[in-house]
Structures are given as structure tokens and as C-alpha cells.
């Protein structure tokens, strides 16, 4: 049995932890809202109707790929590509290549940032390993103009952040939908969590603030996890309809 991502990969450790995925989700929710191509996600109507569910879907697809056998992972990647092709045909236009790259870049960036927030700093070789898995996904999707190593990706990532982000009426509307779905307290927690992982330019555009009230809570959360009490905090933080999804994402790294 050939796995798509090797069994001892750091990426399986990162994506086998529901806590880390929560922060990947939070960061992506912020950056998705600012992307200049977010109108593509409004085209089908699914994003404004259920923005959190749409983002969970993206995260879940990524997890399926990371923890699948190679052939199954390739089928999932091909399915993702086919879904986007259908949207392009229905709209009569092509999704920009830079928009595809942006989504891939988000998964790379927030995988590293979220793990380093909750666990430890990653080595250069571990960061390269994270990059290479998503790079191979991008190649399978026939994306053009991808950097071929982590160092080159860092430079392109900075360029994309400067060129492809904008606070628009879509941004404002998405955050209204986040608040509607989460309620005032959980919405506040989302923004506080986002400020811990997003790049400075995203923080500035969304005015998340330089200090997060959650920063001193992170060490306490780590202790709760060691004691097996982290589920209490998750029940308080997560809307009921998404608790099952997050629980399913918390898997054994030995898989």
C-alpha cells in the first residue's frame, strides 16, 4: 500500500491534530475573505450561504488527501479540479492561475504557522516537506507558475500577499456571515484566533489588532490537552453543527 504522504511525515502530524486544523481554518477564513478572486466563490452562492461549511469542506478535502493511499488521494485531487472546471464552464471564464496558487499557498502557510503556534518551531527540512506535498497537489491540478522549493515559495508568497489581497464589499459581507453563523462571542474568538496566525498584511487589512487576548490562553490550552480536557474548551468555542467535523479531524498520527 503506497501512501500519498509518507507515514512519518510532519504533515500527517500537523493535519492529524484538530487543534492545529482549527487555526488553519481560522487563518484561511481571514485570507479567503480578502482575496481579490473571492467573487468566484460567490458565483455559486455556496460561500455566502454557508461560509464556515465551505471552508470546512476545503480543509476536509486536504485532510483526505494527506491521509489517503496514493491512488485515492489522486482521485480526490482530480475531483477538486473537476469541480472548479465545472464552475468555470458555468461562468464562461477561467479562474485566474494566481487564485488557484493563493489557495494552495494558504494551506502551506497556515499548516506551518498553526503548528508553530501550538507546538514548536519547524526545521527548514520539515517546512520543505510541507511545501513539497502541496506542491505535488498543485502539479496534479496542472497549476502554472508554481515555485519548486520552500525558499522560492516564501518570495512568491510575499508577492501574492501584496498583489492579491483587498478589503472589498465581499470581505465585509463574509465577516457578517461569520458573525451570523458563530454568534457574537464565538465571532470574537475567531478574530482573536486569526490575529495569532495571519500575516501582518492580513491583520492590517482586517484590523484584527496586534495583541490577541488568546495568546496567554494558548499555554493553558496546551496543558488542558495533555490532561485530556481540551474537549471542554472545544465545546465552548465551536458551534454544535461543526463539532463532529472537528472531532473527526483529530486522528492518530500513526495512521
The predicted pLDDT at position 253 comes to: 42
The predicted pLDDT at position 252 comes to: 45
Provide the mean pLDDT of the chain.
85
pLDDT over threshold 50, residue 254: no
pLDDT over threshold 90, residue 22: no
**What SS3 state is found at 219?**
helix
> Which of these ranges, 79-83, 163-167, 171-175, 238-242, has the smallest mean pLDDT?
238-242
pLDDT over threshold 60, residue 255: no
3-class secondary structure for 46-104?
Answer: HHHHCHHHHHHHHHHHHHHHHCCEHHHHHHHHHHHHHHHHHHHHHHCCCCCHHHHHHHH
Residue range(s) defining the domain that contains residue 45 = 10-245
Beta pairing partners, 69: 3
In a domain, 72, yes or no: yes
pTM: 0.88
**What SS3 state is found at 35?**
strand
In a domain, 74, yes or no: yes
The predicted pLDDT at position 109 comes to: 97
pLDDT tens across 187-240, in order? 998 899 999 999 999 999 999 988 887 777 777 666 666 656 565 556 656 666
Nearest alpha carbon to residue 204 among 169, 166, 174, 158: 166
Place 91 in a pLDDT band, splitting at 50, 70 and 90.
confident
Place 135 in a pLDDT band, splitting at 50, 70 and 90.
very high
Rounded to an integer, the average pLDDT of 79-87 is 89
In a domain, 255, yes or no: no
In a domain, 202, yes or no: yes
In a domain, 192, yes or no: yes
109: enclosing H helix or E strand? helix 97-118
> Which of these ranges, 54-58, 86-90, 109-113, 169-173, has the smallest mean pLDDT?
54-58
In a domain, 251, yes or no: no
Domain count, the chain: 1
**CA 90, 93, 98, 99 torsion-angle sign:** negative
In a domain, 143, yes or no: yes
Q: In angstroms, what CA-CA distances link 54 with 60, 115, 182?
A: 10, 22, 14
In a domain, 3, yes or no: no
Place 142 in a pLDDT band, splitting at 50, 70 and 90.
very high
Amino acid at each position: 500500500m503506497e501512501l500519498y504522504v509518507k507515514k512519518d511525515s510532519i504533515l500527517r502530524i500537523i493535519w492529524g491534530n484538530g487543534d492545529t486544523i482549527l487555526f488553519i481554518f481560522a487563518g484561511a477564513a481571514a485570507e479567503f475573505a480578502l482575496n481579490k478572486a473571492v467573487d468566484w466563490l460567490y458565483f455559486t452562492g455556496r460561500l455566502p450561504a454557508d461560509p464556515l461549511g465551505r471552508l470546512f469542506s476545503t480543509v476536509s478535502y486536504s485532510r483526505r488527501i494527506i491521509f489517503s493511499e496514493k491512488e485515492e488521494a489522486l482521485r480526490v485531487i482530480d475531483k477538486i479540479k473537476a469541480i472548479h472546471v465545472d464552475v468555470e464552464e458555468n461562468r464562461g471564464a477561467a479562474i485566474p492561475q494566481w487564485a488557484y496558487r493563493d489557495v494552495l499557498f494558504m494551506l502551506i502557510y497556515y499548516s506551518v504557522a498553526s503548528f508553530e503556534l501550538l507546538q514548536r518551531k519547524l526545521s527548514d527540512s520539515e517546512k520543505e516537506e510541507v511545501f513539497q506535498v502541496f506542491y505535488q497537489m498543485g502539479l496534479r491540478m496542472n497549476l502554472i507558475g508554481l515555485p519548486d522549493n520552500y525558499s522560492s515559495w516564501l518570495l512568491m508568497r510575499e508577492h501574492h500577499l501584496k498583489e492579491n489581497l483587498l478589503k472589498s464589499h465581499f470581505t465585509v459581507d463574509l465577516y457578517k456571515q461569520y458573525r451570523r453563523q458563530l454568534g457574537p462571542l464565538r465571532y470574537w474568538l475567531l478574530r482573536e484566533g486569526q490575529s495569532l496566525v495571519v500575516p501582518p498584511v492580513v491583520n492590517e487589512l482586517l484590523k484584527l489588532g496586534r495583541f490577541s487576548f488568546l495568546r496567554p490562553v494558548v499555554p493553558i490550552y496546551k496543558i488542558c490537552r495533555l490532561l485530556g480536557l481540551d474537549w471542554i474548551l472545544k465545546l465552548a468555542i465551536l458551534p454544535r453543527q461543526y463539532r463532529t467535523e472537528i472531532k473527526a479531524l483529530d486522528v492518530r498520527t500513526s495512521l
